[in-house]
Structure 1
């Protein structure tokens, strides 16, 4: 599959393979179920556990959002991008491994928040490296293959091993709790091993030469970018649309498992449906990238938004495991494609020598969105006492994002 990619492109793609294990095992599947079990044992009601999970995601992403602009601006200096990437990659992997050493729901939640900071901050610089590893014409393809390979390999292989231990570990004397903890350690090891090509073969090509007082100069550059916002008007209009629709995507990813548990879908059905999602998402991410060549990334993003509106409606009315499988399949068709095309679409619009700074803004919009979505879900679930209204509230985010894309984001991908 990767024979037509350069060494740098393949190494960059393999980081998606490396960190996608975290996305499914920690964010979407096994950790949320384990957290709900520990919280229940600690006397926490299912709806309140959903709310705590939502608030924890919001707090952690708020911290990343506050840090992102200055981190991105500092990362534009020569050699800084890889240094910062390494720091947050190490923070993410160590804290992920640390999840294996607690049985208290509150401690688990705090460590999880640290993993979110490491994982999300490393991705600021990983995304920004896209301009260093490939050409503008190949960005949609390289970005889409990254997400696709992440789904079929990075997510599926460690996820299959993990759920096999959870479901069948008792037959060989492994308790479900121990199996879950082994899955957390496996995720950390997988993340480390497959990041090695990225560390060895990806270099920062576009940069600003080092100078004295880099922190102060970075704040000054951020200020100048804001003051000259008219020069980048179309970039920021896209970011506003992205703010809303990616908020919905991330909320569905983070809250789907705890929601399924709350409406009575069994743990086994949840895990197997999420496994199906990873398998189906693999070809769909590549299909999105190929179709973007013909109809444009903007059109494909709008198709994805429409599918997610349907997902919210299905989720609100969901009453059985079969309907959860339908929801999981719909998510699989568009999740990776929307994330990949958003990244490459944005990469084409920004000045390359300021890539980290602009990806800092990109991450700010994504992370502030990730604060609002889970908080919105948590608030509606808590107020109504019914998680279904939390899912329904997410539909509004896709409607607003889609409206901005249609009315204000240009069809010309170079904007």
Structure 2
């Protein structure tokens, strides 16, 4: 059956196209550029990987604290779009400013602020899904968001790649090429968000009352208490905490990992570009499969695949193996993210989507604090980079076990 999106759904998808350019930049060019800045300052490759991981961990802690609070406030009538806009501006302006610093520590601080803005914006963006589509279409729309985000982000990324890799050929410094790249990414991200800002309307909400913010904290407290009683939601969030930890750690650390292993930068960037290209059709494929197969079973398949990917990462010693890793990640990345989002949408109350997605973000972005910290600490303590990344396979094992518990019939 042919699937045609509405205007509201298309505009929602466009934000994925916009912010995914920043995600791709963070996971590819930015770690390599930070390595360049850190080497100029005399940092070792081990310390470079560790500081990058620690920064990612700090971001996740901040978002884990703010996420449920912001999500709960945003559920109040008329609040969601304004707060989303603020987080968007923090992210895009931070991205822009990254192009105007060359000292590694200042770069990390600005990156931290930009990443917090980006991560916070996703809480509101994900919760908007209940407003722009229907439960029957949510799997498809969620998958389309990730799919077009993957392929659409390649447009500005290729421009940035040409600037950075060809900087010497066109007669500009690497720093100048990076400045232009950050400007391109920030502009792309903001422009792609404009249609959503114009058409989005909050359909599901909690009525505004006196002392709205104070009441939001009370609702958050009640939601946390209720989630513990809602076993299906609670177990899913616990499973999500573990398996998405592994996914985000691989996304956050892949380029830094390859760089620390001494792989050639151009090859790393092209391999991760391939990930985006591969992810596009597979994200759409998983969306279509969701109409034929149970969403929970498809999520389980994706978690198992990522377990295999994490184990494979232990044995990577050559660059061609990194290319294989990039293809495998591309095949399942869109599926596990989009189907987890749509699965959660189906089991939560629509009028409290912000609150629940705030909690989901704690379990998602907040969980990756553990993964990136584990990789950073193990790499410094043991000096064995392969072992440090392979250790996250344990999170996928726990994720599979707990997710299947959530799907037990007694929690239907």
* Counterpart-to-counterpart distance in 2, 1:292 and 1:124: 23
8 Å Cα contact 1:97/1:184 also seen in 2? yes
Structure-to-structure mapping, 1:307-322, within 5 angstroms: 307-322=305-320
Q: 1:64 corresponds to which residue?
A: 63
Q: Which runs of 5+ in 2 are unaligned?
A: none
**1:176: how far off?**
2.4
Q: 2:141 corresponds to which residue?
A: 142
**1:254: how far off?**
0.5
Structure-to-structure mapping, 1:74-93, within 5 angstroms: 74-93=73-92
**1:152: how far off?**
0.8
* Counterpart-to-counterpart distance in 1, 2:146 and 2:408: 25
**1:169: how far off?**
2.7
CA-based RMSD: 1.6
Residue 203 of structure 2: which of 202, 205, 216 is its match?
205
* Counterpart-to-counterpart distance in 2, 1:264 and 1:72: 41
SS at match of 1:194: helix
- CA shift digits 1:122-175 (9 cap, x unpaired): 11000000000000000000000000000111x211111111111223222122
8 Å Cα contact 1:61/1:116 also seen in 2? no
* Counterpart-to-counterpart distance in 2, 1:4 and 1:387: 45
SS at match of 1:137: coil
Residue 271 of structure 2: which of 270, 273, 276 is its match?
273
Within the alignment, does 1:292 sit opposite 2:287 as a pair?
no
Q: 1:334 corresponds to which residue?
A: 332
Distance 1:345 1:3, change over 3 A: closer
Q: 1:226 corresponds to which residue?
A: 224
8 Å Cα contact 2:67/2:358 also seen in 1? yes
8 Å Cα contact 1:246/1:369 also seen in 2? yes
8 Å Cα contact 1:51/1:382 also seen in 2? yes
Q: Which runs of 5+ in 1 are unaligned?
A: none
Within the alignment, does 1:183 sit opposite 2:181 as a pair?
yes
Q: 1:120 corresponds to which residue?
A: 119
SS at match of 2:5: coil
Q: 1:323 corresponds to which residue?
A: 321
* Counterpart-to-counterpart distance in 1, 2:310 and 2:234: 27
8 Å Cα contact 1:47/1:386 also seen in 2? no
Distance 1:325 1:351, change over 3 A: same
Displaced runs of 4+ in structure 1, greater than 4 A?
Answer: none
* Counterpart-to-counterpart distance in 2, 1:197 and 1:411: 42
Task: Name the TM-score, length of structure 1 as normaliser.
Answer: 0.96
* Counterpart-to-counterpart distance in 2, 1:411 and 1:227: 23
SS at match of 1:294: coil
Structure-to-structure mapping, 1:234-245, within 5 angstroms: 234-245=232-243
Task: Name the TM-score, length of structure 2 as normaliser.
Answer: 0.97
Q: 1:14 corresponds to which residue?
A: 14
Distance 1:341 1:384, change over 3 A: same
Q: 1:263 corresponds to which residue?
A: 261
SS at match of 1:44: coil
**1:228: how far off?**
2.8
* Counterpart-to-counterpart distance in 2, 1:386 and 1:37: 22
SS at match of 1:172: coil
Residue 397 of structure 2: which of 387, 396, 399 is its match?
399
Q: 1:37 corresponds to which residue?
A: 36
* Counterpart-to-counterpart distance in 1, 2:3 and 2:163: 34
